[in-house]
Structure 1
Amino acid sequence: QTIVVPSQSMGQWLQLGLADRHGIAAMMQTPLPGSFLAALYRRLLPVPDLDPAFERGALTFRVFEILQDGRGVAANPSLARYLSAAPEPLDRFHLAKRLAACYDQALIYRPDRLLAWEAGEESGWQAELWRGGGGG
């Protein structure tokens, strides 16, 4: 069985609930929407593998590098203040992980917005960060 879930914790909760109700929950996959769609595209479309740079883990590290370098930060004074108050790399990594999750959701549900960001049709710190290397 494959059930697409919005978060890993929801997948774990679902598996535990089914195991509790039925006594067992085996051979069950609970992928996130992005992973599920990427696997589906690989199976159905006659194209080479999708760019792994857009997977959440890769996005996390790309956004982290941008935050470390300070690219895309000037567009938002609040973000700049946060980063100056949280100089530790681990703090920046946690922020990068959250931002990558947002970008991952946008790739699935709002690809039109990301295309507008890349084309420079929209501004704002999220678009600036995306163009600064988070995906553009």
Structure 2
Amino acid sequence: MFYLYHHHDLDRLAELLAVLLGRSGAPPLAAETVLVPNRGVSRWLQMRLAEGEGVAANLAFPLPAKFFWQLLSTSLPASPDSSAYERENLRWHLYALLPELAGEIPRVAHYLEGTPAELRRWQLAEQLADVFDQYLIYRRDMLADWEAGRG
């Protein structure tokens, strides 16, 4: 079953999660899955649950994109192992595109001329992949505008 809870106060959500986990009725060794917006919330939530309950075990805290990709890939056997839009995959795609972009964007070319060039290229690909990953989560409207040629 999938439930969605939202609130502006993370402490209240953590309290609600502790209550729900306590009365879930699931077997004690059954894993529970809780989607989180980022790894920081995952760590905080694990510590908060452990403080209140004494232990926080057998809990999975995937990010939404990863969770839904895994769900999709188990439902559709012909799907690839990972999404092209996962941050790690996107980093490699951007790394491959950066030399071409350097020819079109002088600021990129200037940055990539620094030494060590391959490290700078990798770091820029990493930063861009992180930005696009954040856009996929928080700024889908901007991505839709770019795709439509607006902005």
TM-score range relative to shorter protein = 0.5 to 0.7
Which is helix-richer, 1 or 2?
1
**In 2, Cα distance between the equivalents of 1:42 and 1:8?**
22
Q: Structure 1 88/10 Cα, relative in aligned 2: closer, same or farther at 3 Å?
A: farther
What letter matches 2:67 in structure 1? F
Partner of 1:115: 147
Tell me which of the two structures has the higher relative contact order, counting C-alpha pairs closer than 8 angstroms and 6 or more residues apart: 1
Q: Structure 1 74/88 Cα, relative in aligned 2: closer, same or farther at 3 Å?
A: closer
**In 2, Cα distance between the equivalents of 1:57 and 1:82?**
22
The TM-score with structure 1 as length reference comes to: 0.64
Please give the root-mean-square deviation of Cα atoms over the aligned residues, in Å. Answer: 2.8
Gaps of 5+ in 1: 124-136
Number of residue-to-residue matches in the alignment: 116
1:5-57 Cα offsets, whole Å, 9 max, x none, are 2222331222122212321111111112210221233355x573156333221
5 Å-filtered alignment, 1:9-88, equals 9-43=40-74, 46=76, 48-50=78-80, 52-67=83-98, 70-88=99-117
Gaps of 5+ in 2: 1-31
What letter matches 1:98 in structure 2? Q
Q: CA deviation at 1:114?
A: 5.5
Could you tell me which of 33, 38, 58 is aligned with 1:7?
A: 38
Which has more radius of gyration?
Answer: 2
